Structure formats: C-alpha cells, structure tokens
Structure 1
Amino acid sequence: MTVLKLCGTTSARDARLAHAADFCGILVGVEWSERSLSLREAAEVAGASGVKNVILLCNPSAAFAEEVSRTLRPHALQLHCHETPALVSELKNSLPCEIWKTVHLPSLDGQATPEEYAAAGADALLVDSVDLSEGFERLGGTGHVGDWTAVTALKEKIDIPIFLAGGINPDNVADAVRLVQPHGIDLCSGVEARRGERDQQKVESLIRRFRRAAAKITHMPTP
C-alpha cells in the first residue's frame, strides 16, 4: 500500500493536520531552512502529530543524530544532504530507529549512488529535487517537480522502499501515484499557504486524492 509523508511540519497545529497521513516530517537543525526547528520545538510538534514521526537532518554529526534519536524517539531519521554511506551504516548499527536517505536529482557533487546507500543499510530512499536559483542548494521544499522517469527506473534497481518527492501537490498527486507507483509520496510546499504554514484545504484535498489513487493501485490485478 502506498504511504504518505507530509514534511516540513513547523507547529502543533500543522502536525494535527497531518493526522491522516502516515508520517509527519520535522526538520531539526537545518540552518538554511525556514521550516527548521530546535529540539525543544520539535518535541512539541512530534507530540501533536499522532502518526509516525520522521526527523530530517542535514549533514549531522553522529553525536547529534544520536541526541536527536534519544530525545525525540522518531520512527526514522532522514539524512537529507551530503551524508556518506559510512554515516548511514554507522547510524543504522547504533540507533534503534530506521535510517532513511534522501538522494537528489540532479545529483549533488560527490553524492554517492542510491545503490551505495542501500548497501550501507538505508531503510528507505527519498528521491527529491534541487533548486539552485537562490545561489545555494535548496534541497527539498522547492516546489520543483522531480524526474518521475528516473524514479521509476530506480525502483527496478533497488530493493528497499522508495519515496517520490519534489513538486507534488493536490493537482498531480494522483498522477504521481498512478504513473510511478512508489512505496511512498513525500511532500511539503504543495500543501502550504506560505512557506512553513500548511493550508488546511490543500491538505484535505491532497489526502483525499492520494487515498483514492492509492486504493486503485492496491486493487490492481497482478499481471
């Protein structure tokens, strides 16, 4: 069954809007993002979500990742930036939560391959887009639609769950589910009224269309 993650959650109010999703994504210590929270703020948001929480980190040290895991007890840590397969392996072997890794298209300089992250023990991969228009790498929350064809091809190579991210919104979520058939859909800006604040009507519309499309995939006959 296709699952849904709403990321970039910044408040208890927005966390409650994610109650019909499967995962609530929360950024911690991501200096370049307006959606990033402190550990104390993240604890309040995580407590309000009512679903599995995924904490997104950007280039954390192993010590900070361990502190976040110990403090927030998430379902997963999502390593979102230039983290190495070695760090994925280290955290996978030392922490009780799942370790997810974002891979970006187009690929970042020096980014390891999806196969290398999978071999290192990543529990899931999230394929997201990159925005360079502001003079730096804005990784995620860009509103830019990702390369769905590349994600479809990646599914054939990698035997771990793959989430599709990048520019997904109420208008295209059904097509994303139907055409790519990923393990999960991950989005942020597509249901916001403004950066860091969710729009209730957009959330409700997206979840309704997502569930309808996912149900059709679930009930498709096996070839």
Structure 2
Amino acid sequence: MIVQIYSLTTVDDVQACADAGVDHVGVAAGGQDLPASISNEQARTLFEATPDGMATVALTVETEVDPILTYAEDVDPDILHLCPDVDALTVDQVREIREALPASTDVMRALDVVGEETVGVAERLDPVCDWFLLDTATDAVEGIGASGETHDWSVSRRVVEATGTPTILAGGLSPDNVADAVRAVRPAGVDSYTHTSASEARKDPEKVRAFAEAARNAAE
C-alpha cells in the first residue's frame, strides 16, 4: 500500500514523512496560488532532502503543454501530477507530455470523482498515464484536489476495476476513515493533505504516522 502525503513545505516535514514510512511526498510549486504553495527552488531543496526510495511528486494546474514541461524540467519530480479539470487537458495533450518527459518521470493524472462518467474518462486516459489520483474537486481551489471532502468510493472502485493504471485514492482521507476507504476501493495507494496537516503549510507528524499505519493495516 503506497502512502502519499501532500503538500510539504519544509525539510522537517520531509523527515517526519520519512520516519513514518511514507512512499511519495508531494508539493505544489511554481507560484500557482494553491494551498501550501512553494517556489520551484524550494521544491528542489525538499526533493534533495528525500531519502532513497521515497518518490517525489509535483502538482500543476497548468493547461498548456509547454508550461507544464517547463515546470517539470525546473522542479524535476519523479512523478508529474496533472491537476487541471478533466476537460481542460485532453488525452492527446497528456500523451504529448508523457512522451516529452524523461523516461524516469511518471505522469499522474488527477480525476474528479463525480459519477459513473469518471470511469469512462479513466478508461480513455488509461493508455497514457502511469498513475491515477482519484480526488474531490472544490470551487474554492483551482484544479482537482485539496477539498478535504470525500466522494463516492464505489465509483473509485469501478475505476480500479476498469483500468490497469495504478490508482491512488485521495479526497478527505484521514487516519479515521482511510482503513474503510482502502477496504472499499482496494487502490494501489492513498493520499492525504488536509487531514494530516497541522496548518495549511505544515504537517502533523502524529497524524501522518497514524494515517500510514491505518492504511497499511487495512491493506493487509
């Protein structure tokens, strides 16, 4: 069970995630006016502090290929996390991005789980993505995610069953509900930002540890 934690802003929080056995750490870099946003330079500093075996993830809500590729080059994540609304970045654009990136960089596409149509969107993106992140959008934040709200896990389960792309489940997950989510969806991994945070920009190490333990115990 992969555990992914967003959005880190300090080296201390990177270390706290490492101590908790977190697999992926994510950032919102590039001055995109997102919660816990940091600069590209800060993102690279955090990524340099990650231990071997921990994957780095960088989120973008850009909708044009060239700015996305420039961002990826500047930040150099292991996984590029594409978070625009699903109708703002086409399958062909995602394919173009993936083909232009170094072979060492994966593409993760965020999907707003809104109903059965999400399964069809995932099926169309299945051939061009390395990861899916199933999340809950909100009008308060640009793109898909950071809502702190859950969605219909039965739809997420359908995405897992209908596609071959490894799926990370997000959207309102906390130490209290992540075990139920894992059992309901059977994803490859789980993600948390809102409910493992001490503030918008800092993580709560105890919540991170509890989240990781609950997810992995449920997966076993």
TM-score calculated relative to the size of structure 1: 0.85
The aligned residue for residue 82 of structure 2 is 79
Greater share of residues in helix? 2
1:106 equivalent in structure 2 = 114
Q: Which residue of 2 aligns with 1:197?
A: 202
Residue 207 of structure 1 aligns with which residue?
A: 212
One-letter amino acid matched to 2:13: D
Q: Does 1:89 align with 2:95?
A: yes
Aligned ranges for residues 113-192 of structure 1 at < 5 Å? 113-119=121-127, 121-132=128-139, 134=140, 137=142, 139-192=144-197
- Name the SS of the counterpart of 1:169 in structure 2: coil
Give the distance between the partners of 1:27 and 1:180, measured in 2 at CA.
26
2:79–2:106 CA contact under 8 A, matched in 1: yes
Give the direction of change, closer, same or farther, for the CA distance of 1:32–1:69 in structure 2 (3 Å limit): closer
The offset of 1:30, in angstroms, is 5.6
Q: What is the identity, as a one-letter code, of the residue corresponding to 1:7? A: Y
Preserved contact between residue 179 and residue 218 of structure 2 (Cα < 8 Å): yes
Q: 1:30 to 1:174 in 2, by over 3 A?
A: farther
The aligned residue for residue 13 of structure 2 is 14
Shift of 1:38: 1.3
Post-superposition Cα deviations, 1:146-195, rounded to whole Å, max 9, x if no partner, equal 22110011122111111111000000111111221101111111101121
What corresponds to 1:48 in structure 2? 49
The separation in 1 between residues aligned to 2:8 and 2:93, in whole angstroms, is 25
Asked whether 1:62 is paired with 2:65, we answer yes
Provide structure 1 residue ranges, at least 5 long, that are not aligned to the other structure: 217-223
Which residue number in structure 2 is paired with residue 31 of structure 1? 32
Question: Which deviations, in whole Å up to 9, do the C-alpha atoms of 1:47-102 show, x marking residues without a partner?
Answer: 22321101111125333332333333321101011322122101111111111100
Normalised by the length of structure 2, the TM-score is 0.86
Counterpart of 1:10, as a letter, is T
1:5 positional shift: 0.7
Q: Compare relative contact order (CA 8 Å, sep 6+) and give the higher one, 1 or 2.
A: 2
- Contact persistence 2:4–2:23 (CA under 8 A): yes
User: Sequence identity of aligned pairs in percent?
Assistant: 26
- 2:121 counterpart letter in structure 1: T
Q: Distance in 2 between matches of 1:48 and 1:208?
A: 23
Contact 1:18/1:49 (8 A) holds in 2: no
Rounded Cα–Cα distance in structure 2 between residues aligned with 1:31 and 1:52? 22
Match of 1:219 in 2: none
Give 1:34 deviation, angstroms: 2.5
Counterpart amino acid of residue 127 in structure 1: L
Counterpart of 1:190 in 2: which secondary structure? helix
Deviation at 1:198, TM superposition (A): 0.7
Q: Structure 2 stretches of 5 or more lacking a match?
A: none
Q: Tell me if the contact between 2:150 and 2:173 (Cα under 8 Å) persists in the aligned partners.
A: yes
* Offset of residue 138 of structure 1: 6.1
SS in 2 for 1:43: helix
Distance 1:25 1:190 in 2: 15
